[in-house]
Every structure is written in C-alpha cells, then in structure tokens.
Structure 1
Amino acid sequence: MIYFSAWFESLGGNPGCTGGCLTCSLYNGCLTCLPKLFFHLERDGMKQIGVCLASCPKSFFGTRSPEKNYCSKCDSECDTCFDKNFCTRCRAGSYLHKGKCQESCPDDLVPSDTKRECVPSCPADCDVCLSSETCTRCSSGHYLLHGQCHANCPEGTEPRQQVLECIPTVHCEVGEWSEWTQCPRKGKACSRQQLRTRKVLQEPSAQGNPCPNTLEERECPAKRKRCGKSDKNKGERKNRNSRKDKANGESRRERKKERERERDDSDREDSENGNKTEQRRRRAQSGDPAHVQGGAAA
C-alpha cells in the first residue's frame, strides 16, 4: 500500500481518490482523471459530480487533448454521435442522413423507423419490395431470405436457382436396420450370406449430406461352399451316371432278348419231342407193322 501511494502521488494523485481519479474533492468528486480516462460530469440532484470513465455514455462523445480528456454532449437530435457535427443514430422522430438528423428524407429515400435512417425505397439488391426493409424478389445473382437479399446464402441454407431464394439445407435421414435374413439351409445355395436393409426416410437436398449405405451383407457362420468346383463335379457326375444308366439299360435289354430266345428254342424243342411221342403212340395203337417190327427189333 505504501508503494502504491508513492506511485499515485508521483502522478499527482490523491490516495484518498477512487474510481480512476487523479485528483478529487470530497464535495465535487473527481477533478482530473488518470491518463486515457475521460472526465464526465454526472448530475446528482442539484449538483454535478465528476467521474472518470473508459468511454463516454450515450448522447456524449469523447474528446482527447494533451491537457484533458473529457466527454461532450451530442447535438440535441442525436442519440449517439461521433462528434458534435456527425450523428451516428438519431432520436425517435428524426432520420439519419449523411451524419445529420432530419425530420424528412430526400426524394429518392424513405424513412426507416427501425433504423432511424433515410434508406432506399427497396433494400439493397432488391428488384421488387413491400417496403424499405422487406424485399419480395431479388436482382440476378442474389437470393431472397426473410425479406433480404444475399449474394451467398447463410449457413444452414442453400440457393434455389429457379426462384432465387435461400432454402433450408436438408440432410438425408435413414431408418433402423432390419433383422438379418436367415442363412440358407445346407446344400440349398452356394453363396451362404445374410442380408439386412434400411429405408431412406428423407431424401437430401442438393447440398445436404448424402444417404449412407442402405444394404449390408455378411457371411453365414457355416463354411461357405466352393460353388464353381462343386457345380462342375456335380455336372460330370451327372453325365457319368447318365452314360452308365444308358449302358446298363442296353445290357439289360440284350440279356432279356437272350432269355426270350432261349425260352423260344426250349419251347420248340419240347413241342417237337411231344409231337414225336404222340406219333409213336398213335402208330402203336393202330397196329402199324413197321411200328411193331421196329418195336420188336428194338
């Protein structure tokens, strides 16, 4: 504290002063301020109190000089000002034009109660408008959004060329995955895979995030068959079996014909023997001498 007081006094200050005062009095407050601060008089009832501020309050502007920095009052019609001759915002009922506050605007401009300025009858880059603040159609190369024209659409929107408007950017949305399909039963399919899908709920706009994959596949837990080799072997086996069946069929037909020929020969031989026996029996019954002689000789 001793060191601070010595430093403060070296600047000509009074250790009893507060709030940035360099010098002060009990009755009038600050008399002078520390460097870079503005001296300002605030009304306190019937008297004025000096204060030191980093910037001047509303309706005042700051003036710097080697001797003193102080706050000066703006023109009576100014709400804020850069200096005494240049307003930056007017009080209600006046409109700013070229740093001056006026009750009416020039012929080529219209008053804006929101901005308290004289403004063009249509907003900038607007072809057709409802008022000085609301556009309904923008000029070429600009896009309409909330009554204002933009050379580039704000974040979260994108240009729609057909109507020269900024529209909200829409990102793709997809639903939940379906259940995995069942694996084919053993021997029913070569490609043993499971599939699952999901639906697109919202298509994206031109600049929106594209849709992710809507189809996934994975191998079934069972060992995958070797489709190419298996199918080839299966075809070869089928051809071999077909040739074998054909050969066996021909062999069976030949054997059947052979048996039929043997039966026919046997039947003819039996028929011939039967006929000879019947002829001998008849000759014997008729008393044929040749038959008797032959029988005796026998």
Structure 2
Amino acid sequence: MQLQVLSFVLFLHCMEYTDSQQHASRHRQHKQTPGLNPGCEGGCLTCSDYNGCLSCKPRLFIYLERNGMRQIGVCLSSCPNGYYGTRSPDINKCTKCKSDCDSCFNRNFCTRCKAGFYLHRGKCQESCPEGLVPSATQRECVPGCAGECESCVNSDTCTRCKAGLHLLQGKCHHVCPDDFEANEQLMACTPLVHCEVGEWGEWGPCSRRGKGCGFKRGEESRAREILQGPSPHGKPCPPTSEKRKCVVKRKICPGRRRGERRHHNSRKRKEPQDSWQEREREREREKEAGDREDVEDRNKTEHRHSRGQDRDPTSPAGGAAH
C-alpha cells in the first residue's frame, strides 16, 4: 500500500516537471519566432527585440541598417541615398547601388556617380567618350568645349581660350569689358588699375644753383608719393614733383665778407694769386647778376605801368589815338 502511494506521488512530480518544460519551450519559441506584434514602431508589421523590424506595413520599404556586427531593420517610405527600392508581393526592400554609384534608379541605371566617376547613359565611368568632357561639379560627361575654348570644365565654363581671346569668369572675350584690360601674359581679362597718389608735401627751402644764400630770386620744390601704381592700360600717374619761383631777402653767404676779412691776409699768403683773383671775379659776377635782376624787375614794372596808361581811355594820348 505504501509502495503504491509513493509511486503515485512520483508520478505527480513527473507530470509537473513535464508541464513546466513544455511551458518554457513555448515561451522560447514565442521569443524566437515573432508574429504580429502590437508593440512594433516606425511602420514595422513584425519585429524583434534583437533585429528590429522583420517586415513592414504595406508600401513601406525595409532597410537593413548596420549597427556593429548586426543589422537592424528599419521601415522607410523611400530608400536612402545609395540604395534603390524594389517591390514584390512578399516584401518591399532597399537594395544597395553599385559601388561607383552615389544614387541610382535600379541596379543597372545610376543617376549620380561618386567622386572620380562621370555619368554617361546611366553608367559611371572614369573617363568620357570622344566628343564629351568630364564635369567635376556635375560628375557627368558633358558636350565638348565651346568653339572659342581651348580647354574647359564643361560646355559653359572655359579654362583657357584660343589665340587672340582673353578669359574672364569662364568666358572668352575678343574685347575685355569695361573696368578690365587684356593681359597678354595670362591671356585673360584682369581688373583695370589706375594710379593713385598722396597729398602734396610741404614746399622746400628756396635755393639757387644748389645754394641757399647769395641770391634774391630762386626756386623751391615739393613732392608727393605714389600710393598705387597703374596697370599697363590704367590711368598713368600725374607729376609727383613741382617747382616754383621764390623770392628771399638777399643775404651774404657765411664766410664771404666777415670771415674773409678776418682771414684775408693769411689766405692771401697761403693761396696762389690766381685763385684769389678768380674768387673776386666770381663775387663781382654774382653782384652784377643780382643788380641786373633788380633792373629787370624795375623795367618790367615800369613797362606794365606804361601799358596800363596807354590803355586808359581817359588819358589825352588815348583820346588822340581814337
């Protein structure tokens, strides 16, 4: 009797263990094989905690986004750059373009190439066929250079012009526009630059024949700096120096009279007679020149005064001439 009771208890424990193992197995199966999951987000129809979306709602594309060593499913309305979308009754998915395509319509038709490749009829090529030139900005093979271009980036942008033409902003010109001039070395139109000068400086001291004394009339000068030199066809610089007549109170040069009288006898003993006489003659010539200037000034003044009297209609001479 006791043996039967013990056998019955063992049987009950075995049944409980079997039920618990089946329950755990069903739980693991549910985790590994998901079905409709009301908790999925982002357009997912079915999803997994480990792999994200496994299928998408109608008209959405599933895109596998790499995250380290695993891929996470994401549902999108359109595929990202570098991928194209394919639809089928079972699944809509994003497929990667070819390695040289930056974007594509399908596997065999690129719409934009990666850097270093140029698009021609849906294909990405490293060089363009004859008659076409590569455009680095558009990454396409475009029509050859315009007739006036020797080399170009595309049909609208020249990099060098043919002989006799000058380049400006990608265009070739027979005559450079206003404010530009033809640079024959660069074969380009460069900005026209006019000369710029500074303000006049102060007038210098009055001098004559390099001396600052021993005369009454002389010259004084002033100058100004060039701030910006002109380009070959720009406006040239105006005069940067000028002179004018000046009048000073005549003064004897130092050492001429007082100094000479003081050392007259000693110089006369030391210097040859001819040298001393030559200096005397030079002083006489300077004195005569100064006297002539005074006479000329008086004559000019009298002449102007007499001409003014001749033109005076109230004078008797003027009335007689009339």
One fold, TM greater than 0.5?
Answer: no
Bigger Rg, which one: 1
TM-score (norm 1): 0.40
